[in-house]
Amino acid sequence: MFFRKTFSQFMLIVLLGGISLSPVEARSYQSVNQALVARAEQVTGDRFRTVTYTPRGVTVISINPPRADVLSVIDRGFADLFAVARQHGYRNHLNFSDYTVFIGRADRTRDSSGQYSPDIAVPAGQYAGGYYDQGGFIYAAGMVLSFGPSAFVIAEHERDFSRISNIVRYEGEHIVLYYNDRGLYQRTADHSRGGGHPILR
């Protein structure tokens, strides 16, 4: 499996298996869709233990408690997305509480040009054999995990938090299109055939 975790990371996960949560944290964690969490863990190889919410109601499930400014830029990314979606006449699935964002460990922090770019390694799928194929996987800024409940995963950032806002908007575009314009969704869901973000301008 290409998500290589060191032995020490594995032992840390084992030790955290018995983590003690406060009553509020326990209720929050129990209310999360466990099949969705399992899907995210399968994709990233992480163990998601922290559940919190942005000021505007987005569920955030992460490997570490996110900073307040990270939660704010997640909201900003969705606000920008919802504004442009309404300009296109879309009305469905434009509530912050409709969405779950997973924040996983970055599999790399710099891109091929050396720029700061926390990304996750995901299966190559339709990109296999192409330019982005790194040997069965590609590096992605984010990945949609589910449309019901609506969720995607991004990598943990230590700086350049405005990048998170852009990633949230761009990954969210796929979900908004799925619920509002299935034809455009089908034409833009697979970036291996060209095209990119922003899809909605």
- Residues (pLDDT < 50) of the chain are 1-27, 133
CB 173 within 8 A of CB 197: yes
Q: Give the whole-angstrom CA distance, residue 17 versus residue 112.
A: 36
- Residue 28 is predicted with a pLDDT of 54
50 alpha carbon, distance to own chain's centre = 15
Reference 60, options 145, 178, 141, 153; nearest CA is 153
User: Strand 108-110 relative to strand 116-123: parallel, antiparallel, unpaired?
Assistant: antiparallel
201 alpha carbon, distance to own chain's centre = 21
What domains can you pick out in the chain, each with its CATH number?
33-193 (3.40.30)
DSSP conformation class of 139:
E
Q: Residue type for 126, please?
A: Q
User: Strand 59-62 relative to strand 99-104: parallel, antiparallel, unpaired?
Assistant: parallel
- CA terminus-to-terminus distance, the chain: 38
HSE of 88, CA atoms in CB hemisphere, 13 A: 18
Length of the chain: 201
Q: Residue type for 176, please?
A: V
Q: Give the whole-angstrom CA distance, residue 156 versus residue 64.
A: 9
Placement of tokens 């301008």 in the chain: 201
- Angle between helix axes 162-180 and 68-87 (nearest 10 degrees) is 40
Query: Whole-prediction pTM value?
Result: 0.81
Which residues are CB-neighbours of 93 under 8 A, at least 6 positions away?
A: 150, 175, 176, 179, 180
- Residue 198 is predicted with a pLDDT of 78
- Residue 155 is predicted with a pLDDT of 96
* 122 DSSP β-pair partners: 138
- Residue 22 is predicted with a pLDDT of 40
- Residue 30 is predicted with a pLDDT of 56
CB 41 within 8 A of CB 48: yes
- Residue 32 is predicted with a pLDDT of 82
- Residue 35 is predicted with a pLDDT of 94
